[in-house]
Amino acid sequence: MMRDRESLRVLGVSAVAISLFAGVLAAAADVRITPVVAEDRVYANFVATAAFSSDVRVAVQSGLPVTLTYVAELRRSSTLWFDHTVAATTVASAVKFDTLTGLYQVSKLRDGTVHWAKQTQKEEEMRLWVTEFERVLLADASRIRGSSDYYVQVRARDSLPRGFSLWPWGRTEMSGRVELPVIR
């Protein structure tokens, strides 16, 4: 009898650990990243289709302005302490749907300034515009030491209002990570 309870408790703890681990793995695959080293600079191309969730779609269709914010980081791996952030860039895409004309107004921002804006009536085109970024400048290649391992990480979050939460680490984010090719 006592052995059965302990077995059930171990099974329950194992199930919780496996589900948490699976959640972490699923979140890590939400953003696809392609690092690019060109012209003595490190860039990141990335796609975060999961950022445009059903909640985001409903908010956009209602006419509420929605911003998807992405933080792209070039990081150096560390074995003994936290990984070092070499460079970080914040980019965002904002979308507003005009319910009278049926037009989506999409803007892309880098470090708080608009660098691109377009309008479309096609929802699929708008989705691509708000979830894909190309050639996001991270750093000069001179900041990379050949003896270290580097990776590019991108985190994404939306601007939708959330209710009160007891979770102490803020809103949920999605992220992706990919190793940087060796530069010698």
- Least confident span in 13-22, 96-105, 131-140, 156-165: 13-22
Tell me the pLDDT band of 13, cut-offs 50, 70 and 90: very low
Task: With a cut of 90, say whether residue 164 has pLDDT above it.
Answer: no
Token digits for 44? 């990141």
% residues pLDDT > 90 (the chain): 53
- Residues ≥6 apart with Cβ < 8 Å to 63: 96, 97, 98, 99
- Residues ≥6 apart with Cβ < 8 Å to 173: 27, 155, 156, 157
Per-residue CA distances from 168 to 16, 20, 81, 87, 155 (Å): 19, 17, 23, 26, 18
Q: Tell me the mean pLDDT in the region 55-59.
A: 92
Q: Tell me the mean pLDDT in the region 102-112.
A: 93
pLDDT at 60: 95
Amino acid symbol at 115: H
pTM (two decimals): 0.77
State the average pLDDT for the chain. Answer: 81
Task: With a cut of 70, say whether residue 161 has pLDDT above it.
Answer: yes
